[in-house]
Amino acid sequence: MINYLIRRLALTLVTIVVLSFAIFTIVQIPPGDAIDREVRAREAQGDLVSREEIMTLRRQYGLDRPMAVRYWEWISGFWRGDLGRSASGRQVSYLIMERLPQTLALSFAGLIITYAVAIPIGIYSATHQYSIGDYLATGIGFVGLSVPGFLIGLILLYLFYKWFGLSIGGFFSTEFKSAPWSWERLVDLINHLWVPLLVITIGSTGGLIRTMRAQLLDELGKQYVMTARAKGVPKRKLLMKYPVRMSLNPIVAGIAGMFPYLLSGQVVVAIVLNLPTLGPLLNTALVTEDVALSSSVLMIQSMLGILGTIVSDILLGILDPRIRYERGA
């Protein structure tokens, strides 16, 4: 197990290095850098900028050095928590820390809700195949899987407004935004949270219901189930003890893909619903060409995705010794 862990973590390290390099390179691609923009802005105002001045500016910002050196400075600063300044003049680390907890909370809540909802529904769907409930569950699963969250979000937003007069968007209503924690504030938060959570999780839940149902149906058709039933094992005990446990394996493996998926889906949903998470921050950073901010946000989001993958791999390694040996040995 330890061997497996070490290998897995080493691989992750390589992945993160490659990723950081890729992000750094892509961010550098657009022609012209911050200095060029500054020079253009000054020239537009009628200032004449001499070559020497440009060179001084470049040296000041460290842009005259080779890319490898700049990359090293960026990445080593990243590990120390120094992410530079955004174009708005504020510390990038401050802007990110302001939103990171909400992003994490929303993703984890989404993950937990997905599993808590999808597994029981999947079990029900498989044990009551072709019942009305099954059709309903597979129907919802199909919708959730094929329609992206933000489109559902847009339509829900309108319907909720029309039916209940709810104003959704953000985490709190205006009167609770900076109020101290109280019972009403919590209620307000929950009122605002369930719509984004529903929208974020509907896709992953749909997919999971499908997998769980298919896996369990496969497992229920096997002969050991028939044998056990013939020997008089109570139906419920039999179901929970063997087939359900067997079919959970690929579900746990699915956590790996689920986390990046939830992070990705969150971006647009958060923009539509006006949630203070990393997604909208990245969007504005990209639109305004705020390089320091966008590369850092992207780096953090990708690392969260990779982290989710490792956690699920380790979980799977604990659950299934075959995976440990295959990948670790």
Q: Which residues bind another protein (CB under 8 A)?
A: 11, 15, 18-19, 23, 26-27, 29-31, 142, 145-148, 150-151, 154-155, 157-158, 161-162, 167-169, 256-257, 260-261, 263-265, 267-268, 271-272, 274, 279, 282-283, 286-287, 289, 294, 297-298, 301-302, 304-306, 308-309
- The least CB distance from residue 257 to another protein, in Å, is 7
Long-range interactions of 28-36: CB distance < 8 A, separation 24+: 28/67, 30/289, 33/63, 34/61, 34/63, 34/291, 35/61, 35/63
- Strand partners of residue 91: 85
- The least CB distance from residue 134 to another protein, in Å, is 16
Residue 244 and residue 123 in contact, taking contact as beta carbons nearer than 8 Å: yes
DSSP, collapsed to helix, strand or coil, labels residue 89 as coil
Q: Considering beta carbons, is residue 93 or 294 the nearer one to another protein? A: 294
Q: Considering beta carbons, is residue 197 or 238 the nearer one to another protein? A: 197
Q: Considering beta carbons, is residue 152 or 228 the nearer one to another protein? A: 152
Q: Considering beta carbons, is residue 217 or 233 the nearer one to another protein? A: 217
Q: Considering beta carbons, is residue 95 or 282 the nearer one to another protein? A: 282
Q: Considering beta carbons, is residue 78 or 239 the nearer one to another protein? A: 78
Among the listed residues 185, 158, 181, 180, the one whose alpha carbon sits nearest the alpha carbon of residue 169: 158
- The least CB distance from residue 115 to another protein, in Å, is 19
- The least CB distance from residue 246 to another protein, in Å, is 20
Q: Considering beta carbons, is residue 228 or 292 the nearer one to another protein? A: 292
Q: Which residues make Cβ contacts (< 8 Å) with residue 91, sequence separation at least 6?
A: 83, 85
Left (φ > 0), alpha (ψ -120 to 50) or beta: where does 62 sit?
Answer: left
| Dihedral sign computed on CA atoms, order 261, 111, 239, 323 | positive
- Strand partners of residue 173: none
- The least CB distance from residue 121 to another protein, in Å, is 19
Structure token pair of residue 299: 């780096």
- The least CB distance from residue 55 to another protein, in Å, is 26
| Calpha distance 13→119 (Å, rounded) | 33
Residue 243 and residue 216 in contact, taking contact as beta carbons nearer than 8 Å: yes
| Calpha distance 34→89 (Å, rounded) | 13
Q: Considering beta carbons, is residue 247 or 277 the nearer one to another protein? A: 277
| Calpha distance 205→117 (Å, rounded) | 7
